[in-house]
Amino acid sequence: MNPTVNHQAEMTPDIALQLLKDGHERFINGCSKHRNLLKKVQETKNNPKPFATILSCMDSRVPTELILDQSIGDIFNIRIAGNVISPHVLGSLEYTITTAGSKLIVVMGHTNCGAVTSACNDVMMENLSGLLREVKTCISQELTEISNRTGDNESFVNKVSILNVYRSVQQILEQSSIIRQSVDSRALMIIPAMYDVSAGKLTFYFR
């Protein structure tokens, strides 16, 4: 199935999610598809039809298309440190579903996240500090780690990262009526996910 060329009309949120799961399964098993990328450039140059949107961190260890074994024109890829929400991110997400017909939004965090680690260590840095304040909101919500609640504690950082993913999902639904209505009508699905940078394994969660 090639959803970017012939199957946009038949695409549903469930099919979109299964395509991503199948792609990740190929990746994790070392069976990623061999593609003629230059051919894909020509096929998608005038009429791309991406079926899903991934909001993820900008971390170099998290190349979304590779992890999900997707090609040129298959998915929208919005990347920002800590996969945090802003008006610009929301506007981009709204575009993907209203103009381009994306059926699925995945908010993907990852283990050992530098942005979350910096937030846990209370790093202050010119423009970065404003972004980290979004992540810091989740620190007080993590109640299981009693000692060493800093960026030096990998377990603590990863638990905050998961909470941060769920917070981003909640913010999207609260701050965009367009997205919320699409989810309520089942025209769109939004899924939290976490990628393990050590194992290469992506876990999808369901709200």
Q: Which residue, among 27, 168, 156, has the nearest Cα to 93 in the 3D structure?
A: 168
The CA R_g of the chain, rounded to the nearest whole Å, is 17
Reading the block at residue 124, the tokens are 């202050």
Distances (CA, A) of 110 to 36, 161, 164: 29, 7, 10
Unique residue bearing structure tokens 């802003």:
86
Q: Is 24 annotated as a binding residue?
A: no
To the question of whether residue 31 is assigned a binding role by annotation, the answer is no
Sign of the CA dihedral running 178, 183, 186, 190: positive
- The annotation status of 184 as a binding-site residue, yes or no, is no
**In whole angstroms, what is the distance from residue 203 CA to residue 205 CA?**
6
Render 18-40 in DSSP notation, one character per residue. HHHHHHHHHHHTT-PPP--HHHH
Q: Is 138 annotated as a binding residue?
A: no
What residue numbers does the annotated binding site for Zn(2+) cover? 57, 59, 110, 113
What residue numbers does the annotated binding site cover? 57, 59, 110, 113
